[in-house]
């Protein structure tokens, strides 16, 4: 295979080096292109553009492979925990017992919010979307975190990262409680990460939530499966903000906003809304599939398709298995799961979806589990954000640890008007 690409422009030939990744992916390195040819590349929505070299997560979309620091997602889902996987993503290897305990203790020590932050929650209307609250309160929390505005210091990173990962869970639970007019429930140091989140979400001052181990395990796995996914929209946003050397809380708040869109993390909420619509209409899904193939309908089969996976999303497979287990355990018969399975079966045998290689993605079944656990619809994308936090933190660290890292600043092809005179107001077009 060549390690140089040849480019010819206006009869002149140029050689561009080809970067080769550890999994033999190849990328034409165009970092000197404009300087040597006067041209830039154009790749709207970046489908063909690598923004960085990264050591964190590997995806092979054709084969449906996903590995965090080289470890297959299926193995981590089976044998690891969200907190251990967070450490793996952030620091690049599995922690030893001492490192894991230190990290877990740091998360416990930093689970509370400054008491004055309670007043910020008061300011939101009850119907405020928790993603808006989450993004706002991550930045508000940073105002109470000492040293957060100091220049990046690897020695201080560990504490800032633990603060962010721990507090995001508390902010999310407090946002939910406020939205329901319920008293906030403080974290309990005796509980580990995911159990504490469920405690803060569903306990009451007079009665503790019944923490079923299987439910804790299922949500912990949901967090783990969402923990990172290479250069998706929200992670790329975090890296973009990090490249300006903004602080880690600002980067996370930006990631939350990017994740919110229904084409990205907001899809898990949109899937359930889609399934509920189908259920309410009495359709078994077949009518909906017809609409989803018709561009004019404005409908998509939410939870299906992916920019990178042109095969079944390995996370969707794991979550689908968990759905069946969770509903059996909780003795729930959710008609939406049956509709989802019918939609999947129909789509996987429909030429429109097969030709476009559209398969279920991570969002197609995750909402079914969250519903079964009792997590409200408007909190689904918040759950995704909590899960993705380690990936954002790991990518932030990778950007900040780069020696000589530069600010990310794409170019453009300008299509607007060429030079124009300033026209006095009385001479302007009268509409
Ligand atoms: C996540 O990037 C990541 O890694 C994201 C994520 C992560 O972990 O961070 O994996 C999480 O965001 C998963 C995706 C969640 N979004 C959805 O489920 C929303 C529904 N899916 C689509 O909007 C779409 O598939 C995207 C956004 C996921 C991918 O969009 P692309 O890569 O831009 O693909 P496209 O829109 O160009 O689609 C190609 C064709 C088009 O038809 P044609 O123009 O070829 O005729 O497939 C069609 C699309 O109309 N198509 C769909 C479809 N998805 C694509 N048609 C119906 N239903 C769909 N869901």
What's the rounded Cα separation, in Å, for the pair 280 and 264? 25
289/297 Cα distance (integer angstroms): 11
The pLDDT score that the predictor gives to residue 1 is 81
For 186-189, the CB contacts below 8 A with 24+ separation are 186/112, 187/111, 187/112, 189/108, 189/111
The reported pLDDT for the residue numbered 2 is 81
In the chain, the percentage of residues whose pLDDT exceeds 70 is 100
334 is catalytic: no
Please name the residue whose Cα sits nearest to atom 26 of ligand 1: 306
3-class DSSP assignment, residue 18: strand
Answer yes or no: is the C-beta of 306 below 6 A from any ligand 1 atom: yes
User: How far apart (Å, rounded) are the C-alpha atoms in residues 112 and 164?
Assistant: 11
Cβ of residue 300 lying under 6 Å from some atom of ligand 1: yes
Residue 38 · residue 7 · CB < 8 Å: no
Pull the structure tokens for residue 204. Answer: 């009451």
CA distances from 307 to 61, 224, 310, 370 (A): 8, 21, 8, 25
Our answer on whether the CB atom of 302 is closer than 6 Å to any ligand 1 atom is yes
In percent, how much of the chain has pLDDT > 90? 96
Tokens in use for 211?
């923490």
Q: What pLDDT, in 10s, does the model give residues 89-103?
A: 999 999 999 999 999
- Choose the residue to mutate in 267, 305, 347 for probing ligand 1, maximizing ligand atoms within 8 Å of C-beta: 305
Q: Which residue among 306, 355, 362 is best mutated to probe the pocket of ligand 1, counting the most ligand atoms within 8 A of its Cβ? A: 306
Query: In the numeric block, which tokens belong to residue 118?
Result: 């309670």
φ and ψ at 72, to 5 degrees? -60, 140
If you compute the radius of gyration of the chain from its CA atoms, what whole number of angstroms results?
24
Model pLDDT, residue 284: 86
pLDDT for the residue numbered 126: 86
- 28-84: pLDDT as tens digits: 999 999 999 999 999 999 999 999 999 999 999 999 999 999 999 999 999 999 999
Task: Select which of 129, 228, 306, 334 is catalytic.
Answer: 306
Specify the pTM. Answer: 0.96
Ligand 1: centre distance to CA 47 (Å): 12
Q: Is the CB of 66 under 6 A from ligand 1?
A: no
263 CA to middle of ligand 1, Å?
Answer: 7
Token pair for 381: 């994308």
DSSP 46: G
Task: Return the axis-axis angle of helices 213-225 and 363-373, rounded to nearest 10°.
Answer: 150
State the distance from the centre of ligand 1 to the C-alpha of 355, rounded, in angstroms.
14
Q: Which helix or strand (DSSP H or E) is residue 325 part of?
A: helix 314-329
CA 191 – CA 28 distance, rounded (Å): 49
Q: Report the nearest-CA residue for atom 54 of ligand 1.
A: 305
Ligand 1 pocket member 315 (CB < 6 A): no
Q: What span, in angstroms and rounded, lies between the C-alpha atoms of 246 and 237?
A: 12
Determine which one of 220, 313, 334, 363 is catalytic: 363
Q: Which helix H or strand E contains 5, and what residues bound it?
A: strand 4-9
- 29 catalytic residue (yes or no): no
248-261 burial code (b ≥16 CB/10 A, e <16):
bbbbbbbbbbbbbe
Where the chain has pLDDT below 50, the residues are none
Give the single-character DSSP code of 64: T
List, in order, residues 6 or more apart from 80 with CB less than 8 Å away. Answer: 71, 88, 94, 224
In this prediction, residue 164 carries a pLDDT of 98
CB distance 259 to ligand 1 below 6 Å = no
Three-class DSSP category at 41: coil
pLDDT in tens, 284-339: 899 999 999 999 999 999 999 999 999 999 999 999 999 999 999 999 999 999 99
C-alpha angle with apex 166: 165 to 171, nearest 5 degrees? Answer: 100
């Amino acid at each position: 295979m060549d390690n140089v690409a040849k480019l010819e422009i206006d009869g002149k030939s140029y050689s561009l080096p080809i970067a080769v990744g550890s999994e033999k992916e190849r990328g034409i390195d165009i970092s000197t292109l404009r300087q040597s040819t006067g041209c830039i590349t154009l790749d709207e929505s970046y489908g063909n553009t690598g923004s960085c070299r990264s050591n964190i997560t590997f995806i092979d979309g054709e084969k449906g492979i996903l590995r965090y620091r080289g470890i297959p997602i299926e193995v981590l889902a089976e044998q690891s925990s969200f907190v251990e996987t967070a450490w793996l993503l952030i620091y690049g290897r599995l922690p030893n017992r001492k490192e894991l305990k230190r990290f877990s203790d740091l998360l416990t020590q930093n689970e509370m919010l400054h008491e004055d932050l309670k007043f910020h929650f008061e300011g939101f209307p009850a119907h405020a979307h928790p993603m808006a609250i989450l993004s706002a309160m991550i930045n508000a929390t940073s105002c109470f975190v000492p040293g957060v505005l100091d220049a990046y210091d690897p020695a201080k990173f560990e504490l800032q990262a633990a603060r962010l990962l721990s507090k995001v869970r508390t902010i999310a639970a407090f946002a939910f409680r406020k939205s329901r007019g319920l008293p906030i429930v403080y974290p309990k140091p005796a509980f580990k990460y995911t159990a504490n989140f469920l405690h803060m979400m569903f306990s009451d001052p007079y009665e503790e939530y019944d923490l079923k181990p299987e439910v804790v395990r299922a949500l912990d796995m949901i967090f783990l499966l969402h923990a990172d996914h290479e250069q998706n929209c929200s992670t790329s946003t975090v890296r973009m903000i990090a490249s300006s050397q903004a602080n880690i809380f600002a980067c996370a708040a930006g990631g939350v906003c990017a994740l919110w869109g229904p084409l990205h993390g907001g899809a898990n909420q949109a899937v359930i809304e889609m399934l509920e619509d189908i259920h309410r209409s009495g359709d078994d899904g077949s009518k909906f599939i017809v609409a989803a193939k018709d561009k004019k309908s404005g409908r998509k089969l939410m939870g299906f398709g992916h920019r990178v996976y042109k095969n079944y999303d390995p996370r969707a497979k794991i979550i689908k298995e968990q759905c069946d287990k969770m509903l059996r355990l909780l003795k729930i018969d959710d008609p939406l799961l049956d509709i989802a399975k019918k939609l999947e079966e129909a789509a996987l045998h429909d030429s429109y979806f097969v030709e476009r290689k559209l398969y279920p993605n991570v969002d197609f079944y995750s909402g079914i589990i969250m519903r079964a656990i009792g997590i409200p619809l408007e909190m689904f994308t918040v759950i995704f954000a909590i899960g993705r936090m380690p990936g954002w933190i790991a990518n932030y660290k990778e950007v900040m640890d780069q020696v000589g890292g530069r600010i990310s600043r794409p170019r453009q092809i300008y299509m607007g008007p060429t030079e124009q005179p300033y026209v006095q107001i009385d001479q302007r077009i009268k509409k």
